[in-house]
C-alpha cells in the first residue's frame, strides 16, 4: 500500500524532493549550475499543500553530485533524478 492513500478524515500525505537551492549554494560559495531558486521550489510545495493529490512525491528539480577539488567544489555529474 502506498503511503498517503486512503488516509482517514481526508488527510493527505505528499512530499517534495528539493535539489540544492540557488540562494543556499550562493551563500555557501558552491556552483549554482543545476540548482533551483527558492521561489521555484516553493511553487512545488504550494501545489502539494493546496492541491488535491495524495500519496505523491514531486521533485523540484534534478540534483547534481559535487566533488571536492583543490579550488573548491565543482559539479561532476547529474545523479539521475527525474523531475516531475
What are the pLDDT digits (tens) for 20-67?
999 999 999 888 888 999 999 999 999 999 998 888 889 898 877 766
Which residues are CB-contacts of 7 (< 8 A; sequence separation ≥ 6)? 13, 54
- Residue owning grid cell 523531475: 83
Q: What pLDDT score was predicted for residue 66?
A: 66
Please give the pLDDT value at position 84: 44
Please determine, for residue 8, whether its predicted confidence score (pLDDT) is greater than 70: yes
- Which residues, at least 6 apart from 52, have a Cβ–Cβ distance to it below 8 Å? 12
- Over 60: is that where the pLDDT of 81 sits? no
Per-residue model confidence (pLDDT) at position 9: 82
pTM above 0.75?
no
Q: Which residues pair with 75 in a beta bridge?
A: 66
Contact 21, 43 (CB under 8 A): no
Amino acid at each position: 500500500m502506498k503511503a498517503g492513500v486512503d488516509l482517514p478524515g481526508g488527510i493527505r500525505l505528499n512530499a517534495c524532493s528539493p535539489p540544492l537551492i540557488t540562494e543556499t549554494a550562493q551563500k555557501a560559495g558552491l556552483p549554482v549550475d543545476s540548482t533551483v531558486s527558492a521561489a521555484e521550489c516553493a511553487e512545488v510545495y504550494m501545489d502539494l499543500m493546496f492541491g488535491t493529490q495524495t500519496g505523491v512525491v514531486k521533485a523540484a528539480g534534478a540534483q547534481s553530485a559535487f566533488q571536492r577539488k583543490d579550488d573548491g567544489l565543482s559539479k561532476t555529474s547529474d545523479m539521475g533524478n527525474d523531475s516531475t
